[in-house]
Chains A and B, each alone.
Chain A
Amino acid sequence: MPQLEFADYLPQLFWLAVTFALLYLYLAKKALPRVSEVLEERENRVIDDLEQAEKHKKESRSLEETYEKLIATARANAGKVLAESKVKITETIEAKQNKSNQAFASKIQQAEAKIEQARSEAMTEIEVISADACSKIVASLSGIKVSKTRATDAVQHVAKGQD
């Protein structure tokens, strides 16, 4: 069994000590600090990023609150303005309606007066024409001349009787 060759022990132990010492020095002084450095850097980065995210979250939450407040104020203002303008508009409409109603009423009165006048004028004219026709008819039928006054009286009398 080669493992029990005592003559081989010393060279193996010697080189084991040399190679293992070299490996230990390399790992302890260079390789492992490098790994821990990278791991630490990553951990710090992750922690930083998480903090940043938390900060952003808080910021967005406060922004949301501000936004909501603003919206609420704006909504209240809009309601107030709406109610005010409604009242104003109703008032204006009523005032204008009143004004135009009055204007119409006076115009109607004027027109009625005009119609009345025209009617009475027409009535008088009809009487004159009737009297004239009457006297002419009487003259051509009986040869009696009827004065204008009498004819007019007769016509008026007939018109009244027929009323």
Chain B
Amino acid sequence: MAGHSPLEQFAIKRLIPIDIGGLDISITNASLFMAVIVLLISVFMGGGMRRATMVPGRWQSMVEMLYEFISNMLYEAAGPEARRFFPFIFSLFMFILFANLVGMIPYTFTVTSHIIVTFGFAALVFLGVTILGFMNHGIGFLRLFLPQGVPMALAPLLIVIELISYLVRPLSLSVRLFANMMAGHTMIKVIAGFVATMGIFGVFPLAFIVALTGLEVLIAVLQAYVFAMLSCIYLNDAYHVEH
């Protein structure tokens, strides 16, 4: 039963193999769903505001509420200076949110269940924040690793701890999202296997799957929020070095 392993759903399949100069940039099921996600977000954002009115309808309200939600989150976490990164944070949140939610539909592929995708986002945030930090504060950005008012004796230890916690950020950020997505989908798949093998008693794991699916939808939204929120908090460091 190798084809029905709980991990089989994460397999990358090359739909249209493309090879340019020895670099493999084939269109896979993952890239297909990335395109679907972008398309869905565009339809959602464009359709909601296509006939925008003074008093918004339901669709327009959803778009506006998401806009204001992310806008407030960025403002509160990183301050008014980070305003110019609003489109980035919004794109990040929407991409991860739609990737997670689309992944909840049976027979779809969950883009965010791959560590390389979540690490790609996390690395982008990490590198962006680091470069921005040095651009804003120059070498003074290194003060981030030594909180003010700390006794000199503790400084070496503290710098090491702060440095490690800073460098581990892209890993923790990416693993958190990837592990949540992968664990949820694997668990649903494993329990779904019981439904088939337990015959009439399969209704119990089935009921459990229904409940679990509800929980997974919640996690899908929550993890998108957590990812965007942490990105905002990291962005705050690039502007406000003092703790």
Contacts and interface: CB of A to CB of B under 8 A. Distances in A.
B80 interface: no
Nearest to A30: B46
Nearest to B48: A35
Interface in A17-55: 17, 19-20, 22-24, 26-28, 30-32, 34-36, 38-39, 41-42, 45
B128 interface: no
A4 B115 CA distance: 8
Interface of A: 1-5, 7-17, 19-20, 22-24, 26-28, 30-32, 34-36, 38-39, 41-42, 45
A36 B120 CA distance: 29
Nearest to A8: B12
A117 to B, nearest CB: 106
Interface in B15-45: 18, 23-28, 30-31, 34-35, 37-38, 41-42, 45
B10 A15 contact: no
Contacts of A20: 34, 38, 91, 95
Nearest to B113: A3
B139 interface: no
Chain B binding surface SS class: helix
Nearest to B98: A23
Interface of B: 7-8, 10-12, 14, 18, 23-28, 30-31, 34-35, 37-38, 41-42, 45-46, 49, 52, 54, 60, 63-64, 67-68, 86-88, 90-91, 94-95, 111, 113-117, 120, 178, 182
A23 B74 CA distance: 19
Contact of B68 (A2, A14, A39): A39
Contacts of B67: 32, 35-36, 39
B111 to A, nearest CB: 8
A26 B64 contact: no
Nearest to B34: A19
Most buried by A among B31, B52, B67, B91: B91
